[in-house]
Chains A and B, each alone.
Chain A
């Protein structure tokens, strides 16, 4: 509180030449950027982050035992400016824990975290000013207030003057298309409408970084894709987004880079394409047409091919080829089949998904809940 309240204090951690008459935090944000270069170079820097919860394990009515839950183990990565960064992992992976540390709700057990150049432990108010966060969905709203009153109140908490609060609330209500129910108390909203309002709340202070924890959780398909469209639009306007989900397709469709975490460990990080390309597992190609047994035999002899199966489909033959390579095998396949009189009607290479990446890394599917080792 204290270090943010007074303009002269705002300047105190800046370099000597800086005149402390900053107009707004954004100025401070940019001024600080040029000074503290390493920490400022990326919106989020996480170094060797560890989070251990201590919980009581109940053993009957009165007995309990203290145990440690290692929710995050030595996680390090950076989020780049202007990207949509996906945090992907099954239930209990540690996504929410990570996000709560990023947004100062939890203190890390060990490690360093910088958000927009600010240390989440030492500069919590600066961090809070520079992040828009949607965490617990509909639970983070005042149900006895209207949607508009909610937004205006949260705007006040971000130091917006009364007139701006109204403007901002109206703007956001329009963006998330809740104008028609804006003056009803939130308790009368549907889950999806509450979720949208919670998303709108994250936009209230127009922060450069948006952190969204499973924002499409209770939304129907059209609403979810609407929300993703808004996220994309905000990203194009320059906002960096961290997007948590356990839905593969969502991460694949939306995120420029994805981190896969499981049991508190970072398993993989890269663009969805990189991650898929890193898969060393088998690729599957389906070929439909008129294909003789002899042609199949020749295909099977190709060095990259592990297995083939031939079956009938819609009056044609379906040849399924399991190989070590993906698209790279296609020229060879087409050549060999052509040489042996096959007529190809359709080639369908099976795309690996992020789900496959996850399976390859963990031996489990994403749908399984993973309990953290304790």
Chain B
């Protein structure tokens, strides 16, 4: 028996991420298909914009969002959304998969908290989402003809990486629901539409009525999307400066995983008190 330490826990996170990657390589084609999701997703409103807005589409857009590059704006929205949506899908899918295959019980036999295994899954999801988002962004820029190398790419990446941690915290919350209700699809679908709406993938949330705006601002992916857009297209940060927006995300980063962990733990105890995690 070996002593648990922070290194060994970190090593478990990596091993869990690696395990997911190994698994996905046994389903070839998936990773390539990933890339097209954000492009196809963004293509619809872009084409709609071209059809409906005509020559003045860019001007109209400039007035409402602060950039005339609506193609970039929409593509960034759908790329960031891919990362967010992947995080939900992957965590949900992972939990359901473990539940159905019986390996969830095997995980509960190991002397490590499930959130670290989930963190491995999140890391995997982050890698896969980032890969899809980046390729989609550059490939999309090539297809839809705009310059992807504008603004501050590094800062955009920072917003994504910092934003990912509260995102993972949120997926834990929702993993807790799956642990109990043992269903994922309807929940993810619902989440997905709600999330895409709130984080403003295709429009600025400034057009929301006040109450909806507040709800949207309580939601980390909204800050993530706006941060990336501002870094790349210069549309303006919510709080004026990049570091203020980043600080808010940082705050979410501290709170969301803790809250997610707390809820997950409670549901877990409830499940273990009754039927156990073996059921699906």
Where the two chains meet, the residues of A that have a C-beta atom closer than 8 Å to any C-beta of B are: 1, 4-7, 10, 22-26, 28-29, 53-55, 100, 103-107, 109, 125-126, 128-131, 133, 135-136, 139-145, 149, 152-154, 156-162, 164, 185, 201, 205-207
Say yes or no: B12 contacts A159, CB within 8 Å.
Answer: yes
- Give a binary string over B236-280; 1 marks a CB under 8 Å from any A CB, 0 the rest: 000000000000000000000000000000000100111111100
- In the assembled complex, the Cα of A144 lies from the Cα of B21 at a distance in Å of 11
Can you show 9 pairs from A to B with CB atoms below 8 A apart? A1-B113, A5-B6, A6-B6, A103-B109, A106-B273, A140-B103, A156-B11, A157-B107, A159-B5
Say yes or no: B3 contacts A159, CB within 8 Å.
Answer: yes
Say yes or no: B19 contacts A105, CB within 8 Å.
Answer: no
- Give a binary string over B1-45; 1 marks a CB under 8 Å from any A CB, 0 the rest: 111111011011001100100110011000000000000000000
Say yes or no: B110 contacts A157, CB within 8 Å.
Answer: yes
- In the assembled complex, the Cα of A190 lies from the Cα of B23 at a distance in Å of 20
Report A-chain residues with C-beta under 8 Å of the C-beta of B103: 139-142
Partner of A105, one of B12, B22, B27, B277: B277
Contacts A140-B102, A161-B8 given: A125-B278 contact, CB under 8 Å? no
Say yes or no: B110 contacts A24, CB within 8 Å.
Answer: no
- In the assembled complex, the Cα of A104 lies from the Cα of B108 at a distance in Å of 8
Where the two chains meet, the residues of B that have a C-beta atom closer than 8 Å to any C-beta of A are: 1-6, 8-9, 11-12, 15-16, 19, 22-23, 26-27, 101-103, 105-113, 115-117, 269, 272-278
Say yes or no: B106 contacts A164, CB within 8 Å.
Answer: no
Report B-chain residues with C-beta under 8 Å of the C-beta of A54: 274
Contacts A135-B105, A143-B101, A156-B11 given: A106-B1 contact, CB under 8 Å? no
- In the assembled complex, the Cα of A1 lies from the Cα of B8 at a distance in Å of 12
Report A-chain residues with C-beta under 8 Å of the C-beta of B23: 142, 144-145
- In the assembled complex, the Cα of A24 lies from the Cα of B2 at a distance in Å of 5
Q: How far is the CB of A95 from chain B (nearest CB, A)?
A: 14
Say yes or no: B105 contacts A105, CB within 8 Å.
Answer: yes
Q: How far is the CB of A278 from chain B (nearest CB, A)?
A: 35
Say yes or no: A25 contacts B101, CB within 8 Å.
Answer: no
Say yes or no: B102 contacts A105, CB within 8 Å.
Answer: no
Report B-chain residues with C-beta under 8 Å of the C-beta of A140: 102-103, 105-106
Partner of B19, one of A26, A142, A160: A142
Say yes or no: A7 contacts B111, CB within 8 Å.
Answer: no
Say yes or no: A100 contacts B276, CB within 8 Å.
Answer: yes
Across the interface, name the chain B residue whose C-beta is closest to A2: B113
- In the assembled complex, the Cα of A156 lies from the Cα of B19 at a distance in Å of 11
Say yes or no: A157 contacts B3, CB within 8 Å.
Answer: no
With contacts A153-B19, A185-B26 known, what are 13 further pairs, Cβ within 8 A? A1-B115, A10-B3, A25-B1, A25-B2, A25-B4, A109-B273, A133-B109, A135-B109, A141-B106, A153-B15, A156-B16, A159-B3, A160-B2
Say yes or no: A136 contacts B102, CB within 8 Å.
Answer: yes
Partner of A125, one of B12, B111, B276: B111
Partner of B111, one of A135, A139, A159, A185: A159
- In the assembled complex, the Cα of A130 lies from the Cα of B269 at a distance in Å of 21
Partner of A4, one of B111, B115, B269, B277: B111
Report A-chain residues with C-beta under 8 Å of the C-beta of B272: 104-107
Partner of A128, one of B19, B110, B273, B277: B110
Say yes or no: A164 contacts B276, CB within 8 Å.
Answer: no
Report B-chain residues with C-beta under 8 Å of the C-beta of A106: 272-273, 276
Report B-chain residues with C-beta under 8 Å of the C-beta of A149: 19, 22
Report A-chain residues with C-beta under 8 Å of the C-beta of B106: 135-136, 140-141, 154, 201
Across the interface, name the chain A residue whose C-beta is closest to B107: A157
Say yes or no: A7 contacts B5, CB within 8 Å.
Answer: yes
Say yes or no: B275 contacts A126, CB within 8 Å.
Answer: no
The 5 tightest CB contacts between A and B, nearest first, are A139-B102, A1-B113, A156-B15, A157-B110, A159-B8
